[in-house]
């Protein structure tokens, strides 16, 4: 769970309101994912340890009860929508985290692959233009 743990800590501990609105909703969704994983993995799991660490972060109470208890009535989305703003660019994306189906190895069980996808045509056009620019430079 190393990469998602690092991302979760960054998502929740960095004050993102200006770059990733609405920050509280993004954090609540991320915590919801981790809580469900912790429930599946059980006490002593990396997800359970990560939840305890995240719950102790400064400002975590700003996202409400999601920081401390799972909302089992809330349906878990298979993706996390994000809006990222920097300067005059606003991108709408969604992220998915893929896990291995029936791992027979602890390393494979902990492996997570995160992928980001454009959520609208404007964001897709921005990523396409950046890709073309990078390819033309030979990068």
Sign of CA dihedral 46, 4, 32, 25: positive
Residues 6+ apart with CB under 8 A from 45: 37, 38
Print pLDDT tens along the chain (139 aa).
433 554 555 555 555 555 666 667 777 777 777 888 888 878 888 888 888 887 777 767 666 665 566 666 767 778 888 888 888 888 999 988 887 777 677 777 777 788 899 999 999 999 999 999 988 987 6
Q: What pLDDT does residue 2 have?
A: 38
Give the integer Cα–Cα distance in Å for 79 and 102: 20
Q: Which domain holds residue 13?
A: 2-136
Into how many domains does the chain fold? 1
């Amino acid at each position: 769970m190393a990469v998602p743990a690092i991302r979760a800590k960054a998502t929740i501990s960095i004050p993102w309101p200006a770059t990733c609105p609405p920050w509280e909703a993004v954090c609540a969704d991320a915590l919801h994912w981790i809580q469900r994983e912790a429930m599946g993995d059980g006490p002593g799991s990396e997800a359970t340890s990560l939840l305890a660490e995240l719950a102790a972060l400064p400002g975590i109470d700003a996202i409400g009860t999601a920081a401390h208890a799972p909302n089992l009535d809330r349906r878990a989305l298979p993706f996390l929508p994000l809006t990222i703003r920097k300067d005059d660019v606003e991108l709408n994306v969604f992220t998915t985290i893929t896990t291995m189906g029936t791992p027979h190895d602890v390393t494979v069980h902990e492996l997570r692959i995160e992928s980001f996808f454009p959520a609208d045509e404007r964001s897709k056009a921005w990523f396409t233009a950046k890709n073309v620019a990078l390819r033309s430079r030979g990068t």
